[in-house]
């Protein structure tokens, strides 16, 4: 599966562009997840090349930077690669934190 299409790349704000927006109001452009574990990455911004900023839900939920190349290299417990949720839509962070 292609984690990031050309069309999706165009939808991302540049890194830092959403800084004035309160965290709960930021829009998730893409959701990435491990199908064989509990990690999820909610991408909000992208540098256009490799670096995302967003909410990472792993051991804890925390904001931070993550790399497209790293997502492409990660394998879960059963060896499955990271996937993009193609049916997720683009909700605000507040709508996924329930």
Mean pLDDT of 54-69: 96
53: Cα within 13 Å, side-chain hemisphere:
14
What is the C-alpha to C-alpha distance for residues 4 and 92, in angstroms, rounded to an integer?
A: 19
Rounded to whole angstroms, the Cα distance separating 85 from 87 reads 6
pTM: 0.95
Instruction: Check residue 47 and report its DSSP letter.
Output: -
Residue 44, beta-bridge partner list: none
The DSSP 8-state label assigned to residue 87 in this structure reads T
Percent of the residues in the chain that have a pLDDT greater than 90, as a whole number: 92
How far lies 9's CA from each of 45, 92, 95, in Å? 10, 18, 22
pLDDT digits (tens, 9 = 90+) for 6-51: 999 999 999 999 999 999 999 999 999 999 988 999 999 999 999 9
**Contact 14/46 with Cβ under 8 angstroms?**
yes
DSSP 98: -
């Amino acid at each position: 599966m292609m984690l990031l299409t050309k069309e999706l790349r165009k939808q991302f704000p540049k890194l830092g562009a959403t800084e004035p927006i309160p965290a709960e109001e930021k829009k998730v452009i893409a959701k990435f997840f491990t199908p064989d574990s509990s990690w999820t990455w909610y991408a909000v911004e992208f540098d256009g090349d490799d670096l995302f900023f967003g909410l990472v839900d792993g051991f804890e939920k925390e904001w931070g930077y993550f790399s497209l190349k790293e997502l492409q290299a990660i394998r879960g417990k059963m060896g499955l690669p990271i996937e993009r949720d193609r049916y997720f839509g683009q909700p605000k962070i507040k709508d996924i934190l329930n």
